[in-house]
Structure 1
Amino acid sequence: MAFDEMSGEASAYGTHVRESYRGLARWLAEAPEGLLQARSRQAELFFRRMGITFAVYGDAESSERLIPFDVAPRIIGAAEWAGLEAGLIQRVAAINLFLADIYGPQECLKAGVLPAELVLTNPHYCPEMQGQRPPRGIWVQIAGVDLVRTGEDDFYVLEDNCRTPSGVSYMLENREMMMRLFPDLFADYPVRPVETYADMLLASLRACAPEAAGADPTIVVLTPGPFNSAYYEHSFLADKLGVELVEGRDLFVDDGKVFMRTTEGRQRVDVVYRRIDDDFLDPLTFRPDSALGVPGLMAAYQAGAVTLANAVGTGVADDKAVYTYMPEIIRFFTGEEPILNNVPTWRCREPEALKYTLAHLEELVVKEVGGSGGYGMLVGPAASKSEIETFRRRLIDDPDEFIAQPTLALSTAPTLDRNGELAPRHVDLRPFVLSSPEGVKVAPGGLTRVALKEGSLVVNSSQGGGTKDTWVLDV
């Protein structure tokens, strides 16, 4: 039986309530019948009116969907959060040091902390960044670290997202929605605010601007355009930050500097919060067929004339094979033991691990090392025999491309089911971590993703999952 965030190890709601949920339990006991269902319908109507959607590529039924929103919050106590926060700060600080090293002296590779070929032949390794130092020395300004829980004190890092992590707009919109729907509940609960995230992000981006930018750097959000699955988030963040949302055609490089076209003439750009993958950033350096990027952007970046957030080449750090070495990376660069552990993982590139994985496919979760969004993976207990055999052949043909993990009993949280009752559904958590020369900071909360189908472990929105508001308590 999975650990439940509200009831702990109890088998049913109402038999036991963990301390952080007691206020909610009292409120639910006093709430009129049908209130949650009514509020859920209101939330869906509000989200639809606001156009909060994400695109689904290759979906014949609909190119855009609402991400289902569950009105029962996920609540994290102050002491629990303090431990998570410390672990996230440690991990992201180590990731920044790791990236600076592999694109610099490569001491961790010389010391054998992880195999050199795993880094140097990685599809996300960017030779153009070798010997480069981003302005202010920060590689990952914005990280999204996916956490799962299996017990009272057992949190694990499932994966690191260091390229263009998404989902923060839903974290902010979920909170705004909950405050609108349940103001009386917020009046009685000491919930830490997440609304300050935009100010935190803006301050971090400003602090990472090139020194020549001065005290008031010009920041833009660079989007691939309205057909991108996360376009809503791009426009939302630009609005919250008070900066321009631009596409590649809105920017140009002249004399080694980046400019934005405006109705009043060109304007110098100092920081680009880019939501475009490395390969499409600059057709002169990467894919020549890219119409999304800015010709000459990499030359300006390498000269230190503009900051790109996140830095080019950071994808190495969220590769799932590199992830397996994160405990060693943390020890090497910080001299500390990891506060947050990885999920136990078999590296299929290693013969014994491959042998074990092939013998236990029905029990394991197998992932492509470069996969994301819930795609390219096998959930053994939920897979058909043909799906398992297909993965078996793929593993045998190319074992380096896969890792395997146990099928964890992810924690559950109370979720409104189709019958209007609260029922346990599996959840994970993506906190957002910001880095600048001033240090590493974590927004108090994050995006809780929930598997809406009973028994399902797949929480990704692209695979039918939903989201919840995440409450971090002050006391």
Structure 2
Amino acid sequence: MFQSYTVKPFYDEMFEEDKQPKPHYRNFFQLLQHFSEEELREKHETAQLSFLRQGITFTVYNNNVGTERTMPFDFVPIIIPPEEWEVVEKGMIQRAEALNMFLEDVYGEQKILQDGIVPRNLIEENPYYYEKQVKGIEIPLKNHIFLAGIDLIRDEHGKYHVLEDNLRNPSGMSYVYQNRYVMRQVYPEFFAKHSVQTLEHQMTHMHQAILDHAPATQKGKPFAVLLTPGMYNSAYYDHLFLAQQMGIDLVEGRDMVVKKNVVYMKSIRGLKRVDIIYRRIDDDFLDPEAFNEDSTLGVPGLLQAYKNGNVAILNGIGNGVADDKAIYAYVPEMIRYYLDEEPLIDNVKTYLLENKEEREWVLDHLEELVVKNVGASGGYDMLVGPHASKEMIEIFREKIIESPHQYIAQPTIKLSRAPAYQGEKFYPCHVDLRVFVMRGKETNVLPGGLSRVALKEGSLVVNSSQGGGGKDTWVFKKKEEGGDS
């Protein structure tokens, strides 16, 4: 099965350099040998069909035309031993805590700016900084980050690094569940021999974290809704899944109204007061009276209700100022500044192109580096130097010279790889991991998270919109916990 498979020069999640399976993959590898090529092919096709039947799709936009696609699924899981996961979990809790303290600070006293740890211009000139809308507002639990999606990668030595922080509307949690569901349906043999941490109580934790944000003015049992832009949004399946699993109403902006600075949901029984909005629409579209006046997705008067403390909005308004790719470079310093701790999981080295010396060095080494637009996501407006044409390198050179503040550069890390199987053979593909941190009165980290895989051979881009797919992620239980997943 793995005769043509190559490990070097990358860190491989499953294999040692001599192509022997790592200790935590040995059981899986042995079970794999029992399948014939025909069985593997059939199971692969069954898995893809399962996604299609359940309507698990996302939308890819090209020239303003949307195409529905199913998320490609790969059955070889990413397996994480418990002692390794413990470090990841602590590192993610630490990072989310520091980022939340940073948001509370920049919308409050701004001590970190006064002390010169983070340059003031990176905040004040940031398009996601909503000073006049949010500054000085008291929010429940002082918590701006109810849900963080933090993307991790491993380098050629197997060391974890944070690639980026997603603190606005991180998506993909539904795929974690569906990857596990399909895996259990199509490959039940694997679960009998492995003790995998379960996902089943995580939605209860998430729902509780939402209810923990009830405003001080709220009486009785808090009423929460999930606000979606609607069925044409690329992540609509994610919104629908989460609302159903938590048992909360899925609403659009037109389903709500603000009266006397209180938010209500329209229902067949009349108006029902809304205490907490888990929103999946961007800040700009939340309230046409306060942000983009052309928005038809939001609720007029919502910001005023928020300012008056009558409704909680999760994640907080203005979080984009903390997950900007230029701010990312300062997160290790934030951890030292606010928590007086060393980062448990560090950043990828990042060059800030406003700095003249760093910019000149980067312009001389573009063919070796990855360049990203600080405001873009999903793999757009990005240069992967070693894979780029001379023309593309020159285009990015011009972009950097014209708008240096708009870009950052990072070394091309030899991203770790794992085997993928797409109906014909096993071949190595680059992977990353989105870890979900849920924060209410307590903090919970979803065990495992969303493993994304660059299914095109040789590709470094794991985003589903650019041809990437998903894998199930297993965190093994500690030995003493025993039991089955």
Q: TM class, shorter-chain normalised? A: over 0.9
Is 1:329 the equivalent of 2:329? no
Deviates more, 1:89-98 or 1:50-59: 50-59
User: Partner of 2:45 in structure 1?
Assistant: 41
1:464 equivalent in alignment to 2:472 = no
Could you tell me which of 89, 93, 96 is aligned with 1:89? 93
Code of the aligned partner of 2:53 = R
Q: Distance in 2 between matches of 1:92 and 1:194?
A: 21
Residue 138 of structure 2 is aligned to residue 133 of structure 1:
yes
- Provide TM-score, normalisation by structure 2: 0.95
- The alignment partner of 1:450 has SS state of strand
Structure 2: distance between partners of 1:206 and 1:115: 36
CA distance in 2, matches of 1:248, 1:143: 23
Q: Are the aligned partners of 2:452 and 2:462 in contact in 1 as well (CA < 8 Å)?
A: yes
User: Matches of residues 130-209 of structure 1 in structure 2 within 5 Å?
Assistant: 130-151=135-156, 153-209=158-214
Which residue, out of 51, 56, 60, partners 1:56? 60
**Counterpart Cα distance in 2 of 1:445 and 1:316:** 27
Out of 431, 437, 442, the position equivalent to 1:439 is 442
Does residue 291 of structure 1 match 2:272?
no
After superposition, where does 1:273-352 map in structure 2 within 5 Å?
273-352=278-357
Q: Which residue of 1 aligns with 2:6?
A: none
Give the C-alpha shift of residue 29 in structure 1.
1.6
CA displacement 1:161-215 (0-9 Å, x = unmatched): 0000001110111111111112221121010012322111101001111133345
Other-structure match for 2:453: 450
State the TM-score, normalized to the length of structure 1.
0.97
Aligned runs of 1:190-269 on 2, under 5 Å?
Answer: 190-214=195-219, 216-269=221-274
| Deviation at residue 93 of structure 1 after TM alignment | 0.5
From 472, 476, 483, the equivalent of 1:473 is: 476
Shift of 1:137: 1.2
Counterpart residue type for residue 5 of structure 1: E
SS in structure 1 opposite 2:37? coil
- Equivalent of residue 121 in structure 2, options 117, 123, 126: 117
Sequence identity (%): 48
Match of 2:16 among 8, 23, 38: 8
Residue 152 of structure 1 and its aligned partner are, at CA, apart by 5.1
8 Å contact kept, 1:136–1:209: no
Determine if contact 2:265/2:272 at 8 Å carries over to the other structure: yes
Higher mean alpha-carbon deviation, 389-398 vs 147-156, is at 147-156
Deviation at 1:463, TM superposition (A): 0.5
**Equivalent residue for 1:108, pick from 99, 105, 112:** 112
Q: Is the 8 A contact 1:8 1:152 kept in 2?
A: no
Q: Secondary structure at the match of 2:383?
A: strand
More displaced stretch, 132-141 vs 400-409: 132-141
Contact conserved, 1:135 with 1:306, CA < 8 A, in 2? no
Q: Select which of 429, 433, 439 maps to 1:429.
A: 433
Structure 2 Cα separation of the partners of residues 398 and 205 of structure 1: 39
Secondary structure of the corresponding residue to residue 430 of structure 2: strand
Q: CA deviation at 1:62?
A: 6.1
Q: Which amino acid aligns with 1:343?
A: V
Q: Which runs of 5+ in 2 are unaligned?
A: 1-8, 479-485
Secondary structure of 1:30's counterpart equals coil
SS in 2 for 1:238: helix
SS in 1 for 2:257: strand
Structure 1: gaps of 5 or more residues: none
Q: Is the 8 A contact 2:448 2:473 kept in 1?
A: yes
Query: The residue matched to 1:213 in structure 2 has which SS?
Result: coil
Partner of 1:386: 391
